[in-house]
């Protein structure tokens, strides 16, 4: 993944977490995602993301790691899946949650910089 693509993904995940937190403020009881017998509310997901954000931050890990851990924590039946299916399901959940979040484009305008 290129640095630009990675930066766009990181910004999108940041915007997604802000979107989830905003939804939590107005309807924390509303279900954000479901898997099997697990129904994850916006409130529970926001709380878990905030808790895991501190943990992964201490380890130098990304916000996406916090979101992934929060989903696994909030929907424990995901652990029963094999690793490939779990990864695919988590990816689908993240894309479902971010269906209304537009990726912020990074400027591709060439700029001059001083060298010397």
102: in domain? no
Q: Token pair of 115, please?
A: 């060298």
Report the C-alpha gap between 93 and 68 in whole angstroms: 10
Report the C-alpha gap between 86 and 73 in whole angstroms: 13
Positions in the chain short of pLDDT 70: 1-2, 4, 104-116
Report the C-alpha gap between 95 and 89 in whole angstroms: 10
The 10s digit of each residue's pLDDT in 99-112 is 999 876 655 555 55
Q: Token pair of 45, please?
A: 């997901």
Domain that holds residue 21: 3-97
The pLDDT, as a whole number, for residue 5 is 76
The pLDDT, as a whole number, for residue 103 is 74
Report the C-alpha gap between 36 and 25 in whole angstroms: 26
105: in domain? no
The pLDDT, as a whole number, for residue 45 is 97
The pLDDT, as a whole number, for residue 6 is 77
Look-up of token digits 């305008």 = 109
54: in domain? yes
């Amino acid at each position: 993944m290129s640095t630009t693509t990675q930066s766009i993904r990181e910004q999108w995940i940041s915007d997604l977490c802000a979107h989830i937190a905003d939804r939590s403020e107005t309807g924390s009881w509303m279900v954000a995602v479901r898997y099997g017998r697990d129904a994850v509310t916006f409130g529970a997901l926001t709380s878990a993301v905030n808790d895991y954000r501190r943990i992964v931050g201490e380890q130098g890990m990304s916000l996406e790691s916090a979101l992934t851990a929060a989903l696994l924590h909030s929907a424990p039946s995901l652990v029963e899946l094999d690793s490939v299916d779990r990864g695919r399901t988590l990816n689908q959940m993240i894309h479902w949650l971010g269906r209304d979040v537009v990726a912020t484009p990074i400027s591709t305008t060439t700029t001059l910089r001083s060298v010397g």
